[in-house]
């Protein structure tokens, strides 16, 4: 929080915070002060907070999973984002953006987003919304092809085992670098468990 001075601090999936941490966050928001680890004094904060969740916070409050006072404190402006299935017109741009960005990160050639592939992407429900689309494109780039349910019939299905291993290794190293060498965080981002 301290490093977000003058900016905006975005906290995703606010519903996942334990009740104790919710209470601590409420105090920080109310006082706009924080005590950095190892410090004996608090420092003032100059930032905006932005929160996101897929959950119904009002229901979570009613069930006792989310603090009432925190809900009322953060519920200043509520923006409901339509799900991806409700804004399928964004699929082309989002797919192209993720394809370019992730292929650059992995150091591999982008897969073609043919009309056939886009038609199959458009007919899917996307229960995981934009994150699911991003993960699908990342997985497809790592494997060198789209999964069968999204693939273009004309797309080659041959994979070079050595190049797949190299792509996977580059991706793991990139994620590990993004996490400043924290293996547990890298494993979490990659969807696996870190070895002790």
Query: Which CATH number belongs to the domain containing residue 184 in this structure?
Result: 1.10.8.60
Shared-domain flag, residues 186 and 91: yes
Same domain, 117 and 142: yes
Last residue of a domain, one of 22, 52, 74: 74
Domain boundary among 74, 106, 129: 74
Name the nearest CA neighbour of 103 among 88, 90, 113, 115.
Answer: 113
With a CB cutoff of 8 Å and minimum separation 6, the contacts of 115 are none
Q: How many C-beta atoms surround the C-beta of residue 54 within 10 A?
A: 12
Q: Residue 79 falls within a domain, yes or no?
A: no
**pLDDT in 10s for each residue of the chain, 196 residues:** 556 567 899 999 999 999 999 999 999 999 999 888 888 898 888 999 999 998 899 999 999 999 999 999 999 988 888 888 888 889 999 999 999 999 999 999 999 999 889 999 988 999 988 999 999 999 999 999 999 888 875 544 444 444 556 666 667 777 777 878 788 887 888 877 545 5
**Backbone Cα Rg of the chain:** 21
65 and 154 assigned to the same domain: no
- Shared domain for 161 and 91, answered yes or no, is yes
pLDDT digits (tens, 9 = 90+) for 74-104: 999 888 888 888 888 899 999 999 999 999 9
Is-contact 186 172, C-beta < 8 A? yes
Q: What is the pLDDT of residue 161?
A: 44
Q: What is the number of structural domains in the chain?
A: 2
**Do residues 83 and 126 make contact, with C-beta atoms less than 8 angstroms apart?**
yes
Q: Are residues 70 and 90 in the same domain?
A: no
DSSP 46-93: --EEEE--SS-HHHHHHTTSS-HHHHHHHTTS--PPPPGGGGGGGHHH
pLDDT of residue 176: 75
The boundaries of the domain holding residue 24 are 2-74
Judgement on whether residues 109 and 29 belong to the same structural domain of the protein: no
Of 48, 74, 100, which residue sits at a domain end?
Answer: 74
Residue 48 lies in a domain: yes
């Amino acid at each position: 929080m301290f490093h977000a001075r003058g900016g905006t601090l975005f906290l995703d999936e606010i519903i996942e915070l334990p009740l104790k941490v919710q209470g601590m966050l409420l105090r920080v928001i109310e006082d706009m002060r924080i005590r950095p680890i190892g410090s004996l004094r608090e420092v003032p904060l100059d930032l905006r907070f932005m929160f996101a969740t897929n959950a119904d916070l009002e229901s979570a409050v009613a069930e006792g999973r989310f603090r009432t006072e925190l809900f009322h404190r953060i519920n200043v402006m509520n923006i409901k984002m339509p799900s991806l299935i409700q804004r399928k017109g964004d699929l082309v741009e989002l797919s192209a953006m993720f394809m370019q960005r992730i292929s650059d990160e992995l150091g591999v050639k982008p897969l073609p987003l043919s009309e056939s592939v886009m038609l199959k992407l458009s007919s899917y429900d996307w229960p995981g919304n934009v994150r699911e689309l991003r993960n699908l494109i990342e997985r497809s780039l790592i494997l060198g092809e789209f999964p069968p349910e999204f693939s273009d019939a004309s797309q080659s299905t041959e994979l070079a085992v050595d190049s797949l291993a190299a792509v996977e290794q580059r991706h793991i190293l990139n994620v590990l670098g993004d996490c400043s060498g924290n293996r547990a965080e890298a494993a979490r981002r990659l969807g696996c468990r870190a070895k002790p």
